A = this chain, B = another copy of it.
Amino acid sequence: MVDRALEGQQRAVARLISLVESGSKDLPEVAALLAPHTGRAQVVGLTGSPGVGKSTTTSALVAAFREQGKRVGVLAVDPSSPFSGGALLGDRVRMGDHAIDEGVFIRSMATRGHLGGLAWATPQALRVLDAAGCDVVLVETVGVGQSEVDVVSLADTTVVLLAPGMGDGVQAAKAGILEIADVFVVNKADREGADQTVRDLRYMMSLGERRDAWKPPVCRTVAARGEGVDEVAGAIDEHRAWLESSGEGPRRRRRRAENEIEAIGLEKVRARLGDVRGGAALEALAEKVVAGTLSPYAAADELLDSL
């Protein structure tokens, strides 16, 4: 199956990602087989509030990259599920244009499940798409600033989408998006207030400090009509070139690998705690905590001692 995925066969790729999601015991072996074939894809995170047009933009970007002859992967990660069930379905329908294209891999990641599920699963799904020969993988999420689905820690290039009237530049600055965005997209740029949003962003950028020397471009799009999307694809390409020339690319890849190793390590500990859960130790500790005779910190110490 790994061989077929490496050849880029869609069904094998899909089955490997399912394997990742299910937390299969074969994952370490699969990961070892994939490892030598990874490290080529540019991981592009797309993030922004609900309603800014992430899915439409993602779909339009897929088309733009396909025209360049690139293989494209899409991972849709929506942590606000289950309430976004409808939205995800909508994405799939909109993505339907690309569904029969052999150079496009589309996948929604389930985010329900046990604690810490995504922290390790999404990077592993990315590895599968990378090894399958994707030049670009677009990761669509609303998860900026969250601990679990932190698109910044996953991505080589982070695209932050805004739309007119959905929060002004001051709030954006406060929230730290200036620091994380490598490319800004003001979508729905035909709407009233678009100029103001662009001005606010530029003003805030003039005040803020970045950790690196990259100056994030501000693109204007009407993704639903494909307007401005080639410019976004161009900005993403430029950022990739800058990553390699500046040395920031290797730094980000190393940081990503560190996060990945840490997340898998924690997942392993969690699995061991889960085994404890099956036993009586945790239950007995919980009874004492409920009764107020033991603090949860002291209980956690006892739990770890029992490992």
Cα distance A172–B86 when bound, in Å? 9
> Cβ of B295 and Cβ of A34 under 8 Å apart?
yes
Chain B residues contacting A286 (CB-CB under 8 Å) are 254-255, 257-258, 261
Chain B residues contacting A285 (CB-CB under 8 Å) are 257-258, 261
Q: Which of A141-164 contact B (CB under 8 A)?
A: 142-148, 150
**Whose C-beta in chain B lies nearest to the C-beta of A142?**
B80
> Cβ of B298 and Cβ of A86 under 8 Å apart?
no
A34-B295, A80-B80 are contacts. A289–B273 as well, Cβ < 8 Å? Answer: no
Q: Which of A42-79 contact B (CB under 8 A)?
A: 48-50, 79
Chain B residues contacting A36 (CB-CB under 8 Å) are 292-293
A146-B148, A263-B115 are contacts. A257–B289 as well, Cβ < 8 Å? Answer: yes
Binds B, one of A106-114, A186-194, A196-204, A219-227: A106-114
Chain B residues contacting A263 (CB-CB under 8 Å) are 115
A27-B297, A32-B297, A286-B261 are contacts. A304–B148 as well, Cβ < 8 Å? Answer: no
> Cβ of B257 and Cβ of A290 under 8 Å apart?
yes
Contact with B along A274-291 (1 / 0, CB 8 A): 000100001101110111
A116 CB–B CB distance under 8 Å: yes
**Whose C-beta in chain B lies nearest to the C-beta of A252?**
B290
Q: Residues of A within 8 Å of B, CB-based: how many?
A: 87
A241 CB–B CB distance under 8 Å: no
A254-B286, A283-B254 are contacts. A83–B49 as well, Cβ < 8 Å? Answer: yes
- Closest-CB distance, A35 to chain B (whole angstroms): 5
Contact with B along A245-260 (1 / 0, CB 8 A): 0000010011101101
Query: Which 5 A-B pairs give the minimum distances between C-beta atoms?
Result: A82-B175, A28-B297, A264-B300, A257-B286, A31-B295
* 16 additional A-B residue pairs with CB within 8 Å, beyond A49-B80, A258-B286: A28-B297, A36-B293, A79-B79, A80-B142, A80-B146, A82-B174, A83-B142, A112-B146, A113-B147, A116-B266, A146-B148, A147-B148, A257-B285, A257-B289, A261-B303, A262-B273
Q: List 5 A-B contacts (CB under 8 A).
A: A28-B298, A82-B174, A83-B175, A112-B176, A261-B286
